[in-house]
Structure 1
Amino acid sequence: KLVGVWKDAKKYLDKYVAITKDYQQKDGAFSAAVFFRSARSRTPRQLISSTGHALEWMSVALSPEELTQDWVLKAIDRMVTDMEKFPTEVFSDGGLYHAAHALRRFREATGG
């Protein structure tokens, strides 16, 4: 059982996981406006950056079981679809890094 600052940290992360899930787009991508409002990405570059960043921090915030929930898997599927569809030059280096790191952390956490 978490106590003190660890309990506070978990509550903080849970709040932002809930916001991220609430603002998730119908296609699985996470909001381009991150925690401010629900917004569709206008470009593949923006989608990879916003969804990759969100999946990266959630790969730490969520348990392996939580990472296999349908809404998380839908985001991964959406992100990978664009990563496979477009040449790497379309994406920012930072966005691509965060997306790839999120996928690696997901695989390590879930074995998938």
Structure 2
Amino acid sequence: MGYAHGVSQGEFLRSGDFTGGEASVVHHLRRLGFVTRTHRNPPRTWDEVVLACALVRDDGWRWLTPNDPRVVELSELLQLYVEQGESPLSACAREVDEELGLHIAVGPC
């Protein structure tokens, strides 16, 4: 936020110069002419976060790209598991859809 203000107004702000969290920051950015989008990451389990952090740590805290083979491998591994709040049957249907493009209904026969 402070950098965006500096680019558009010539005066860079520090974190103490504004408050109010995301709602306030988005409002100010839009007022300055910036386009904002909200992107929420899907909820992650503790195990997923720990595995991702370990991968970053093992890489010397450097930025990892989505096509890095280690990221791809971890992503593929995590996709094998049932997601939080998902039934095993729904997970099976999701995997068939993702891997084969076949949409199958889950429910009683």
* TM bucket normalised to smaller: under 0.3
User: Structure 2-normalised TM-score?
Assistant: 0.23
Pick the structure with more helix per residue. 1
Higher RCO, 1 or 2 (CA under 8 Å, sep at least 6)? 1
